[in-house]
């Protein structure tokens, strides 16, 4: 019936809502529904009459023949969507679609509910097309093309969005467009004035009743929000009584469950002799939950549910209890773990060599000498690295290392490091003039969040692993670890890795063939000596050879970029248990002290505040304490509402 009657969803909405309410807490079968007594309200009785009128005035549907022209017309408005399928037996190419002899085959319509109400225009326009391709495939999959009419002129733009469309919206539209690949169709534009039937069906949900306007000289707003008492131990607070429960049962408009029995005192109880608490008795429910939760010292949801279930019959108790505990201001400080997992975001990714340079100081150990730290420099695209020993982490060493890198490979466009003072403050002063001339910029990652700067952190782990093994193999004292740096750097730069499509960093960055320990065994020393090129061997074809080399490097770089993209998608698909970030500027949040140097005693709470979000960056948020006005940059995993 829904698919055969135009505007059925809107007309039958009151009846559908009443049926859902009557069947709550019971099995949703025809046998159970037949035993439920329902008294229609005036609005529901009017809706029932309108449904009968739709049946009486409904159009006769036809079954299309394979030789007929099948027409699919869709439209969407702010609140609803519609799909109309017609068939034309004698198609006249010289006649417009509005003057063809159409016969109704199928019609569908609906309203945007929930999250769909906030979709963009492109998503709402595309939805009925994909809805038809999914639900009406038995009509649209045919040997002959069907005609798709839409009043959205740039339909190609919807299913092939550009950069101006948000990434998650563009991904959704492209996934939807894959469904159209199964069908044979011809897209034709129809003006909004001619797309009468689909446009009318999509806008029926937007019809508003006429409003009466009144002119007043002055008006005053009044807060109608009921402030629920959340402190039951205050002297002026009143505990719920039987009279309160009886008043709530008499005043309710909710449908009473079938298994309740009325007691001599007028109260309704279930078969377990528990009082029935109506769903719309919100104040009474809140008072009972406060007593059950606070009276047990904020033990949790399960304990609270057990206490309430013992004495009261409450529909959807677990859902209500979880929502209540999630809003408890005291529980937010002590429950929920030290951090909250968040979905992995997008980190910086370069598209060519020497575009971005990662820098980090790796502390090796305190050996009372000049080799306590290791400055690690890594190219973001190729993973090519250079290792520099130093006595301390300072800006001067980092500045000299950048200048040396510039003398060999050129200045990178972006310098990525953590927020240590030698990088954020001192290095800026040293390289301010150089950055201005070379247009190099700095990007900082948050402290205690190594996954944001994971590229160089992964390299640090590999360095320590190789260094430990080589110290054992060559029997070198730990305070002489710097002597092994050339071997370690060569090992890292000449080892093929999967993230570079099985190429070595030196091969991607410098274009040289990576050396392997097996090369002398497989080729032989004589063959290696014969391949040595001298200046006298250059021929006029050198320029052509250099061009071939550049083309080879470009192809290799494309392979590397593709491999990185696939690895990122695999990592994102394997992530589990992460909660999406929903903080906005102006929100009030709590901050986790998990990274604080002064942990405090065991009685100190983990989540402190209140803070206000005053800035949102790509991988961090800036928060401000409401009392002290101190600000700090933190990761989303350290915040919660």
Write down which residue in 528, 543, 565 finishes a domain.
528
Which strands sit side by side in the sheet containing 275-277, from one edge to the other? 261-262, 268-269, 275-277, 312-314
- Compute the average pLDDT of residues 622-632: 86
CA separation for the pair 543, 339 (Å, rounded): 58
Same domain, 484 and 620: no
pLDDT 10s digits, 290-330: 888 887 777 788 888 888 888 888 888 888 888 888 878 77
Same domain, 518 and 377: yes
- 221 in any annotated domain: no
What pLDDT does 2 receive? Answer: 64
Token look-up 């505040």 returns 609
Question: What CATH number does the domain containing 445 carry?
Answer: 3.30.420.10
pLDDT 10s digits, 357-373: 888 888 888 776 667 88
Helix (H, G, I), strand (E, B) or coil at 73: strand
pLDDT tier, 387 (very low <50, low <70, confident <90, very high otherwise): very high
What pLDDT does 386 receive? Answer: 92
pLDDT at 521 over 60: no
CA separation for the pair 489, 500 (Å, rounded): 17
Q: Other CB atoms closer than 10 Å to residue 385's CB: what's the count?
A: 21
Same domain, 253 and 401: no
DSSP structure class, residue 93: T
Same domain, 20 and 134: no
- 111 in any annotated domain: yes
- 220 in any annotated domain: no
CA separation for the pair 596, 146 (Å, rounded): 65
- 549 in any annotated domain: no
Percent of the chain residues topping a pLDDT of 70: 74
pLDDT tier, 147 (very low <50, low <70, confident <90, very high otherwise): confident
Domain carrying residue 41: 8-57
- Compute the average pLDDT of residues 383-408: 87
Q: What pTM does this model have? A: 0.45
Question: Is the Cβ–Cβ distance between 434 and 407 less than 8 Å?
Answer: no
Give the lowest-confidence range in 289-293, 437-441, 445-449.
445-449
Same domain, 427 and 377: yes
- Compute the average pLDDT of residues 420-442: 70
Same domain, 375 and 522: yes
Write down which residue in 328, 348, 371 finishes a domain.
328
Alpha helices in 480-612 (DSSP H): 485-493, 505-510, 519-523, 525-530, 542-574
DSSP E strand boundaries for 6-62: none
88 versus 572: which is more confidently predicted? 88
The secondary structure element, H or E, covering residue 249 is helix 242-251
The secondary structure element, H or E, covering residue 389 is strand 385-390
pLDDT 10s digits, 175-208: 777 777 788 888 887 776 677 666 676 666 555 5
What pLDDT does 226 receive? Answer: 44
Question: Is the Cβ–Cβ distance between 268 and 256 less than 8 Å?
Answer: yes
Same domain, 182 and 290: no
CA separation for the pair 486, 327 (Å, rounded): 57
- 49 in any annotated domain: yes
Q: How many angstroms separate the most distant Cα atoms in the chain?
A: 115
Helix (H, G, I), strand (E, B) or coil at 373: strand
What pLDDT does 229 receive? Answer: 47
Same domain, 322 and 404: no
Helix (H, G, I), strand (E, B) or coil at 150: strand
DSSP structure class, residue 252: -
pLDDT 10s digits, 503-518: 888 888 888 777 776 6
Q: How is residue 419 written in tokens?
A: 């927020």
- 447 in any annotated domain: yes
Q: Other CB atoms closer than 10 Å to residue 224's CB: what's the count?
A: 5
pLDDT at 535 over 50: no
- 246 in any annotated domain: yes
- Compute the average pLDDT of residues 114-119: 85
Q: How many domains does the chain have?
A: 5
Question: What CATH number does the domain containing 276 carry?
Answer: 1.10.340
Same domain, 439 and 460: yes
Helix (H, G, I), strand (E, B) or coil at 464: helix
pLDDT at 13 over 80: yes
Same domain, 52 and 122: no
What pLDDT does 11 receive? Answer: 83
pLDDT at 86 over 80: yes
The residue count for the chain: 641
CA separation for the pair 185, 179 (Å, rounded): 12
pLDDT at 45 over 60: yes
Write down which residue in 185, 206, 227 finishes a domain.
206
pLDDT at 394 over 70: yes
Question: What CATH number does the domain containing 594 carry?
Answer: 2.30.30
Cα dihedral 200, 205, 210, 214 sign:
negative
Phi/psi region, residue 171 (left: phi>0; alpha: psi -120 to 50; beta: rest), is: alpha
DSSP structure class, residue 102: E
Q: Could you tell me the CA-to-CA distances from 93 to 73, 90, 97, 195, 196 in Å, in that order?
A: 17, 10, 9, 18, 20
CA separation for the pair 338, 594 (Å, rounded): 6
What pLDDT does 528 receive? Answer: 45
Q: How is residue 313 written in tokens?
A: 């019959």
CA separation for the pair 585, 613 (Å, rounded): 5
Those residues with Cβ within 8 angstroms of residue 211's Cβ, 6 or more apart along the chain or in another chain: none
What pLDDT does 605 receive? Answer: 72
Same domain, 320 and 419: no
Those residues with Cβ within 8 angstroms of residue 103's Cβ, 6 or more apart along the chain or in another chain: 62, 86, 87, 88, 89
pLDDT 10s digits, 537-560: 545 565 666 566 667 767 776 777
How buried is 399 (Cβ within 10 angstroms: 0-12 exposed, 13-18 middle, 19+ buried)? middle
Q: Could you tell me the CA-to-CA distances from 39 to 22, 42, 43, 72, 235 in Å, in that order?
A: 10, 10, 11, 41, 44
| Ordered DSSP codes for 288-339 | HHHHHHHTTTS--HHHHHHHHHHHEEETTHHHHHHHHHHT-TTHHHH-S-SS
Question: Is the Cβ–Cβ distance between 88 and 63 less than 8 Å?
Answer: no
Question: Is the Cβ–Cβ distance between 620 and 446 less than 8 Å?
Answer: yes
Same domain, 287 and 394: no
- 95 in any annotated domain: yes
Question: Is the Cβ–Cβ distance between 118 and 168 less than 8 Å?
Answer: no
């Amino acid at each position: 019936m829904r698919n055969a009657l135009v505007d059925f969803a809107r007309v039958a909405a009151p009846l559908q809502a009443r049926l859902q309410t009557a069947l709550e807490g019971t099995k949703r079968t025809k046998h159970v529904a037949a035993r439920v007594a329902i008294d229609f309200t005036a609005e529901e009785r009017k809706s029932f009459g309108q449904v009968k009128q739709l049946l009486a005035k409904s159009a006769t549907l036809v079954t299309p023949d394979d030789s007929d022209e099948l027409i699919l017309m869709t439209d969407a408005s702010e609140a609803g969507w519609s799909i109309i399928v017609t068939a034309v037996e004698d198609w006249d190419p010289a006649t417009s679609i509005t003057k063809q002899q159409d016969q109704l085959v199928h019609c569908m319509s609906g309203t945007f509910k929930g999250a769909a109400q906030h979709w963009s225009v492109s998503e709402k326009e595309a939805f009925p097309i994909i809805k038809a391709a999914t639900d009406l495939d038995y009509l649209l999959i045919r040997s002959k093309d069907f005609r798709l009419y839409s009043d959205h002129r740039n339909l190609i733009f919807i299913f092939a969005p550009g950069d101006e469309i948000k990434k998650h919206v563009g991904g959704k539209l492209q996934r939807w467009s894959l469904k159209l690949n199964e069908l044979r169709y011809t897209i034709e534009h129809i003006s909004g004035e001619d797309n009468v039937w689909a446009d009318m069906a999509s806008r029926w949900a937007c019809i508003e009743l006429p409003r009466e306007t009144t002119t007043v000289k002055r008006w005053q707003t009044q807060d109608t929000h009921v402030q629920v008492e959340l402190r039951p131990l205050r002297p002026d607070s009143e505990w719920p009584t039987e009279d309160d429960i009886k008043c709530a049962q008499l005043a309710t408009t909710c449908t009473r469950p079938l298994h309740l029995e009325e007691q001599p005192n007028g109260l309704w109880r279930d078969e377990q002799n528990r009082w029935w608490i109506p769903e719309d008795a919100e104040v009474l429910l809140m008072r009972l939950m406060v007593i059950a939760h606070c009276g047990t010292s904020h033990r949790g949801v399960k304990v609270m549910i057990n206490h309430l279930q013992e004495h009261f019959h409450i529909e959807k108790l677990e859902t209500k209890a979880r929502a209540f505990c999630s809003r408890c201001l005291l529980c937010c400080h002590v429950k929920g773990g030290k951090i909250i997992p968040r979905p992995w975001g997008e980190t910086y990714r370069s598209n060519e060599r020497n575009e971005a340079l990662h820098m980090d100081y790796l502390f090796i150990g305190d050996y009372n000498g000049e080799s306590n730290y290791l400055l690690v420099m890594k190219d973001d695209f190729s993973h090519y690295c250079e290792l520099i020993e130093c006595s301390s982490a300072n800006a001067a060493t980092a500045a000299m290392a950048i200048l040396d890198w510039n003398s060999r490979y050129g200045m990178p466009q972006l310098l990525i490091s953590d927020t240590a003072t030698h990088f954020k403050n001192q290095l800026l002063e040293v390289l301010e003039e150089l950055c201005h001339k070379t247009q190099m910029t700095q990007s900082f990652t948050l402290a205690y969040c190594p996954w944001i700067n994971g590229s160089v952190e992964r390299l640090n782990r590999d360095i320590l692993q190789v260094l430990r093994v080589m110290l054992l193999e060559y029997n070198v004292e730990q305070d002489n670890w710097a002597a092994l740096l050339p071997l370690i750097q060569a090992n890292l730069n000449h080892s093929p890795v999967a993230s570079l499509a099985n190429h070595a960093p030196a091969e991607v960055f410098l274009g040289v063939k990576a050396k392997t320990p097996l090369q002398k065994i497989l080729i032989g020393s004589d063959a290696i000596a014969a391949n040595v090129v001298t200046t006298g061997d250059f021929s006029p074809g050198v320029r052509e050879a250099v061009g071939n080399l550049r083309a080879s490097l470009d192809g290799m770089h494309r392979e590397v970029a593709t491999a990185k993209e696939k690895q990122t998608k695999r990592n994102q698909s394997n992530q589990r248990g992460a909660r999406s970030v929903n903080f906005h500027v102006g929100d009030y949040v709590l901050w986790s002290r998990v990274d604080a140097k002064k942990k405090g005693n065991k009685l100190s709470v983990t989540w402190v505040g209140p803070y206000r979000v005053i800035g949102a960056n790509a991988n961090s948020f800036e928060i401000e304490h409401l009392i002290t006005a101190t600000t700090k940059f933190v990761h989303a995993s350290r915040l919660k509402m």
